[in-house]
């Protein structure tokens, strides 16, 4: 072989090597361009995610949040045929389409269709071709018709799915459809659609938390208001009870004074009458006798009013439902019972008839005994209020019994005989008038109070009242 042929062969080898180097360089350049394009796309998507995050932070409604997420999903994945965002209903049984780039009404169930599959999925998924068709087979004809009406291309050849979840709680699902392009989406898209779905779920959960916090704050304010009102009502009732006790003490004192004055008063009036009988008609002393008799009569009327002090007048008596009074009283002290860790139970018989009574005075009796029961249970306990109808004897009127039972410390035997005496008390700040006035009121209603008690076992006050007032 001549030198010229050898030279030509070397030139051919160099040309082939140069062509291969150009091809490799082109491949490297295309790969670099692709990587650069992907880097640009990645930066754009990251910027979009950050922008979406900032927008979701200031959103103040579910509709605003879901519409924003759907709109950004279409922009984030160019070529997307449709984007649907479903939220689960309150019963956790139905997924409702809440946002779409093409309006439609679609309802599915967890596990049904692409939205149901996304809802139950632990993470984002990419479905292509037969996988999409298989998921769509679960849907009814009506659902398919509504779904196809919301898309530009049907059936879709690819889809990206992602669940909306926060710490194990699921809110719905996000589905975007690739139309006729089976290779529109790639596995590298999965983190972005899941990030978008997670941002949506976090925004909805934060909105729900704010709503629940506002509701709890309103409930707390309402509870505090009701507590203050109940406290004020209880304080008023206690003040009224103390005032009634004071009046009762004055009444008892007045009745005692009236009784002591009556005898000498009548003796004086009779003496004046006898003197008057012995005077002549024209005697000037008759004028003074008339004045004395008139004034003594006025004293007698004053004494009568003193004797009847705090006794219910007939005009104040009316048909009264004892069960209703007891319910009202328990409601009045409900906050006090709760703070004292006392469980209250009412066993009120429906057979109890109406009684003729002064309702306010009986309410004061019930309140006084219930508050005493609470004082007897400083560490909490059980309070039971019961009404029952007693079998009447032939000579006695029908009687109802109101039992107020506690599980407190009980009443020592040495104190029981003095319970209803005015000014007798074992409490450091007690007046000794509560039970005295309670017994007085019950007596004025033709009834009586019985007490049964055991040390550290509890006490039962039984109030017996006739159903008629004769």
Q: What span, in angstroms and rounded, lies between the C-alpha atoms of 151 and 146?
A: 9
Determine contact, residues 127/161, Cβ cutoff 8 Å.
Answer: yes
Higher pLDDT, 56 or 122: 122
Length of the chain: 470
Residue 302 has pLDDT above 70, yes or no: no
C-alpha dist (Å) from residue 152 to 81, 101, 142, 173, 398: 6, 11, 18, 21, 85
Residue range 147-163: mean pLDDT, rounded: 80
User: What is the arithmetic mean of pLDDT over 382-405?
Assistant: 84
- Give the integer Cα–Cα distance in Å for 309 and 247: 9
What does the pLDDT read at residue 451? 92
DSSP classification of residue 312: P
pLDDT tens track for 207-265? 888 888 888 889 888 888 888 888 888 887 776 666 566 666 666 666 677 767 777 87
Convert the pLDDT of each residue in 92-128 to its tens digit: 788 888 877 776 667 677 777 888 888 888 888 888 8
Please write the tens of the pLDDT for every residue from 188-199: 888 888 888 888
Helix, strand, coil share of the chain (percent; to 5): 55, 20, 25
3-class secondary structure, 241: helix
Question: For residue 377, what pLDDT is reported?
Answer: 92
- pLDDT number for residue 403: 96
Which tokens is 360 given? 């306010």
C-alpha distances in angstroms, 441 versus 10, 33, 325, 362? 133, 101, 15, 7
**Which comes out higher in pLDDT, residue 414 or 267?**
414
Q: Is the pLDDT of residue 384 over 90?
A: yes
What does the pLDDT read at residue 405?
A: 95
pLDDT in tens, 305-361: 555 544 545 546 888 899 999 999 898 888 888 888 999 999 999 988 999 888 888
Instruction: State the chain's mean pLDDT as an integer.
Output: 79
Domains of the chain with bracketed CATH? 55-209 (3.30.450.40), 234-311 (1.10.287.130), 316-466 (3.30.565.10)
Closest CA to 146 of 184, 113, 121, 192: 113
Confidence category of residue 383, pLDDT binned at 50, 70, 90 = very high
The pLDDT score that the predictor gives to residue 441 is: 84
pLDDT reported for residue 27: 73
Inter-residue contact 48 to 75 (CB < 8 Å): yes
What average pLDDT does this structure show over 143-157?
A: 76
- pLDDT for residue 244: 64
DSSP result, 393-442: PTTS--EEEEEEEE-SS---TTTGGGTTSTT---STT--S-HHHHHHHHH
* Paired tokens of 171: 């809110």
- Can you tell me the distance from the alpha carbon of 82 to that of 101, in angstroms, rounded to the nearest whole number? 6
pLDDT at 50: 62
Contact 139, 112 (CB under 8 A): yes
290/284 Cα distance (integer angstroms): 11
Which has the higher per-residue pLDDT, 369 or 470? Answer: 369
More confident residue, 460 or 231: 460
How confident is the model over 78-94, as a mean pLDDT? Answer: 83
Residue whose token pair is 């939205």:
115
Between 317 and 394, the higher pLDDT residue? 317
């Amino acid at each position: 072989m001549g030198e010229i042929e050898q030279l030509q062969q070397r030139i051919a080898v160099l040309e082939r090597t140069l062509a291969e180097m150009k091809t490799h360089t082109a491949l490297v350049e295309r790969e670099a361009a692709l990587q650069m394009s992907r880097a640009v796309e990645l930066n754009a998507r990251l910027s979009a995610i950050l922008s979406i995050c900032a927008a979701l932070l200031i959103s103040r409604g579910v509709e605003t949040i879901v519409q924003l997420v759907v709109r950004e999903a279409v922009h984030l994945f160019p070529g997307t045929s449709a984007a649907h965002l479903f939220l689960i209903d309150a019963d956790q049984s139905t997924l409702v389409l809440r946002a779409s780039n093409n309006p439609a009404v679609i309802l599915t169930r967890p596990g049904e269709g692409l939205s149901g599959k996304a809802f139950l999925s632990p993470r984002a998924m990419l479905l292509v071709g037969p996988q999409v068709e298989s998921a769509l087979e679960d849907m009814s004809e009506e659902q398919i018709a509504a779904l196809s009406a919301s898309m530009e291309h049907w059936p879709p050849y690819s889809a990206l799915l992602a669940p909306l979840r926060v710490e194990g709680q699921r809110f719905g699902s996000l589905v975007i459809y690739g139309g006729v392009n089976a290779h529109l989406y790639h596995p590298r898209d999965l983190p972005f659609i899941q990030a978008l779905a997670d941002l949506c779920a976090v925004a909805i959960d934060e909105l729900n938390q704010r709503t629940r916090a506002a509701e709890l704050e309103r409930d707390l304010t309402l509870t505090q208001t009701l507590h203050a009102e109940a406290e004020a009502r209880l304080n008023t009732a206690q003040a009224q009870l103390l005032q009634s006790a004071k009046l009762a003490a004055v009444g008892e004192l007045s009745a005692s004074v009236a009784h002591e004055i009556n005898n000498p008063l009548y003796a004086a009036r009779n003496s004046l009458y006898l003197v008057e009988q012995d005077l002549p008609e024209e005697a000037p002393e008759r004028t003074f006798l008339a004045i004395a008799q008139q004034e003594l009569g006025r004293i007698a009327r004053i004494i009568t009013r003193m004797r009847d002090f705090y006794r219910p007048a007939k005009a104040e008596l009316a048909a009264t439902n004892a069960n209703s009074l007891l319910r009202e009283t328990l409601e009045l002290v409900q906050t006090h019972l709760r703070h004292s860790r006392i469980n209250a139970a009412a066993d009120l018989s429906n057979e109890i008839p109406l009684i003729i009574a002064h309702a306010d005075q009986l309410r004061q009796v019930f309140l006084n005994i219930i508050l005493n029961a609470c004082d007897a249970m400083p560490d909490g306990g059980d309070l039971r209020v019961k009404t029952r109808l007693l079998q009447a004897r032939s000579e006695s009127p029908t009687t109802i019994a109101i039992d107020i039972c506690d599980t407190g410390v009980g009443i020592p035997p040495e104190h029981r005989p003095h319970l209803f005496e005015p000014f007798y008390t074992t409490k450091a700040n007690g007046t000794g008038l509560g039970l005295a006035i309670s017994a007085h009121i019950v007596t004025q209603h033709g009834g009586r109070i019985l007490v049964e008690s055991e040390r550290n076992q509890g006490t039962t006050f039984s109030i017996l009242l006739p159903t008629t007032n004769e």
